[in-house]
Amino acid sequence: MNLSMNALLQALNMDGIVQFLGIIILLVIIFLFFMFIRCFRIVPQAHVFVIERFGSFKCEWETGIHFLWPFIERIAGKVSLKEKVVDFKPQPVITKDNVTMQIDTVVFYKVTNAKQYIYGVERPLAAIENLSATTLRNIIGELELDSTLTSRDTINTNITAILDQATDRWGIKVERVELKNIIPPREIQDAMEKQMKAERERREKILQAEGDKKSQILVAEGEKESQILRAQAKKESQILEAEAEKQAMILKADAVREQKILEATGEAQAIELVQQAVAESLIKLNNASPNEKVIQLKSLEAFSKAADGKATKIIIPSEIQGLAGLATGLKSIVESDAPKQ
């Protein structure tokens, strides 16, 4: 009985050991499986993994899938290649004219060399912050207060150049440094506000004076233009009146000339008609073959017309003297015929 019990116990112990060993082996297999899965690493975009083998630098993993040997290799650092922005707290600085002010900076940087970034400096952000603070103090110490307030671009450029050169051996590229705030002491702020107010008042007075000056100039120019326009209008009016008088005189002279031409033409035509009538009467008289008495009668008529003129002396031809008797006879005949009628 005792032997059977011991054999049973031994059998149970052997089964337990086997099960325990099976569980251990199963756990080891699962562990190794997960370890094998974890050996495959994926590097995301814009990132670089720095790999060490037995504690020394081996290589840099870029974007993609990679295999990491367990217990032999490890990831020393995961570096992002994206541009970063760091806002550092205000730093006390002293200007050349011994004015203490608070200035905070904003640094834009990115990693260009992952190996140098991991092995080049301990705590890179703290190094950049301290370097920017000391550089800012050196630059501001050479400037006076007014220059500091008005030379932001110059200060930014100088700090950027110095930090970029200093951080190059750390695998860091400083893209830009900006002065975010420049805070002078309260008394300096009050003095600046008073100065600014006085400057605004001065500019206001200057602008008002310039406005009054321009207004007076515009009024004077308006009066000048008005006088010029009135003078030009008067001149043009006088010119138009003179031209109108000239045209009237020309038209009047043309009318007189036309009238004289028409009168002369009428007189010439009248003389021509008289001469034509005389010529026709002579032709008719010649065609009628007048006798001597008729000729003497016509001579007498011509003499009477000549006597009616304004001449003071009249020369009577001898042929006309003989006609006197003929005229007396004709007169008596006319008088004797008159009562019969």
pLDDT tens for 113-149 read 888 888 888 888 888 889 988 888 888 888 888 888 8
Residue 245, domain member (yes or no): no
The verdict on pTM exceeding 0.95 is no
- 133 lies in the same domain as 72: no
Domain boundary among 164, 184, 204: 184
Instruction: Return the pLDDT at 319.
Output: 52
- 176 lies in the same domain as 124: yes
Instruction: Give the pair of three-digit tokens for residue 107.
Output: 């640094």
Instruction: Return the pLDDT at 183.
Output: 82
Instruction: Return the pLDDT at 15.
Output: 66
Percent of the chain with pLDDT over 70: 78
Residue 318: pLDDT band with limits 50, 70, 90? low
What is the SS3 assignment for 39? coil
Report the CATH number at residue 105.
3.30.479.30
Residue 295 or residue 223, greater confidence? 223
Q: What is the mean pLDDT of the chain?
A: 79
Residue 311, domain member (yes or no): yes
Residue 277, domain member (yes or no): no
pLDDT at 59 over 70: yes
Domain boundary among 79, 111, 127: 79
Residue 89, domain member (yes or no): yes
- 179 lies in the same domain as 88: yes
pLDDT at 334 over 50: no
Domain boundary among 130, 150, 184: 184
pLDDT at 17 over 80: no
- 127 lies in the same domain as 147: yes
Residue 299: pLDDT band with limits 50, 70, 90? low
| Number of structural domains the chain divides into | 3
Residue 48, domain member (yes or no): yes
Could you tell me which of 154, 147, 157, 151 has the C-alpha nearest to residue 97? 147
Half-sphere exposure of 162 (CA within 13 A, CB side): 18
- 133 lies in the same domain as 180: yes
**DSSP type of residue 169:** G
Residue 307: pLDDT band with limits 50, 70, 90? low
pLDDT at 339 over 50: no
Query: Which domain does 301 fall in, by range?
Result: 290-341
pLDDT at 69 over 80: yes
Residue 110: pLDDT band with limits 50, 70, 90? very high
Residue 169, domain member (yes or no): yes
- 29 lies in the same domain as 109: no
Instruction: Return the pLDDT at 330.
Output: 47
Residue 240: pLDDT band with limits 50, 70, 90? confident
Q: How far is CA 138 from CA 91, 92, 131, in A?
A: 12, 12, 11
- 60 lies in the same domain as 97: no
pLDDT tens for 4-15 read 556 555 655 666
| Angle, CA of 213, 217 and 222, to the nearest 5° | 150
Residue 135, domain member (yes or no): yes
pLDDT at 45 over 60: yes
Q: Are 172 and 83 in contact (CB under 8 A)?
A: no
Name 53's Cβ contacts closer than 8 Å, sequence gap at least 6.
69, 72, 73
Residue 1 or residue 235, greater confidence? 235
Q: Which residues pair with 84 in a beta bridge?
A: 109
Residue 237, domain member (yes or no): no
- 68 lies in the same domain as 122: no
